[in-house]
Amino acid sequence: MARFASSNSEHIHLEMGIRTHGALKPAVGADTLAYGEVHLDVTDVKRAFDFWHDIVGLNVVDRCDEECRLGAAGHVLVVLHSGAKRAVVPGHSGLYHLAIHLPDETELARVLWRLIVAGYPQAPTDHTMSKSTYLSDPDGLGVELVLETPGRLGSWRNEADGVQLMDAEGNPHNIAEPLDVNEVLAHLPDRNFDQPLLPPEAKIGHVHLHVAELEPALAFYRDLIGFREHIYSPQLGFADLSAGGAFPHRLALNVWAGAGAPQPPGGSAGLRRFTIVVPSEEALGEILDRLREGGHEPEPVEGGELVRDPAGNAFCLTTESL
């Protein structure tokens, strides 16, 4: 059984034992949960800045020696914190990758070309319902740059040897295939490959986490936070959840770092926390009540409530994008 080949490439063949809810084809409606800024601990802020600004294409919102805030059109997406003493340590819970979603094929083409010109390692991948490329920062933190293409997906079916996707024309596809980079680059009609920054519409579209145990993590995010279960595959060690609306892949969980994987040792580069934005104070209060009833005590912090999932991964609940 093949799993994701690395943090840079998601090649999935889902086997028997999958519990699914609905189809991969997105439901109608808006997401009820969204993402704000993602905070990362890095070993070298200057080196990390060069990656996130020059390679990924985020612009500077606020920069200083110990903390660097980067985003798109003044909206913060990633916050870099100095002080880590070592790169990402494998075999621990934490960030598998964060995903920045792009608005159209032109912007994906610019990203791909910038990476090609820079000679930066990447793994362009076609998921039928999305087109992506995967890369890692200098500390080994995973990043996915994504264009959602739900209109290309016609249907899917669960078979004994995996999931079979059918595109809108009825052609079969694996859930992950090599991306036709030349086809994407052809969508840049002005041939302007020199736009250095991501567009204002760029956003954190999903987060994929390493967790210690799959079922408790799935139940936590589904029953207490409000994500909706989409795929649960114990044999693959993978779960996928939607945010209740237009696209299924909003939060992914896996146990590929090993059963019972602990949080990384102190001083490691990795996820400090991410941000989940809820639609109202009333909705936030309901989530906090469920958390307390479930034995999880949120910690008030500037801008929201800090929570840890069963694997120890931290996130901040807030009602506004920070």
Measure the CA–CA gap between 108 and 287, rounded to whole angstroms.
Answer: 35
- Determine the Cα angle at 73 with ends 189 and 276, to 5°: 115
pLDDT at 321: 56
**Beta strands at 67-72 and 75-81: parallel, antiparallel or unpaired:** antiparallel
Total H helices, total E strands in the chain? 5, 22
**Beta strands at 94-102 and 142-148: parallel, antiparallel or unpaired:** parallel
Give domain limits for the chain.
21-149+179-318
Strand partners, 301: 304
* Confidence category of residue 12, pLDDT binned at 50, 70, 90: very low
pLDDT at 156: 67
Measure the CA–CA gap between 51 and 115, rounded to whole angstroms.
Answer: 11
pLDDT at 322: 46
Name the percent of the chain lying above pLDDT 90.
Answer: 68
From the CA atom positions of the chain, what is the Rg in Å? 19
User: What amino acid occupies position 318?
Assistant: T
> What's phi and psi for 236, nearest 5 deg?
-80, -20
Length of the chain: 322
pLDDT digits (tens, 9 = 90+) for 267-289: 999 999 999 999 999 999 999 99
**Residue 9: CA count within 13 A, CB half-sphere:** 15
For domain 21-149+179-318, give the CATH number.
3.10.180.10
Measure the CA–CA gap between 190 and 294, rounded to whole angstroms.
Answer: 54
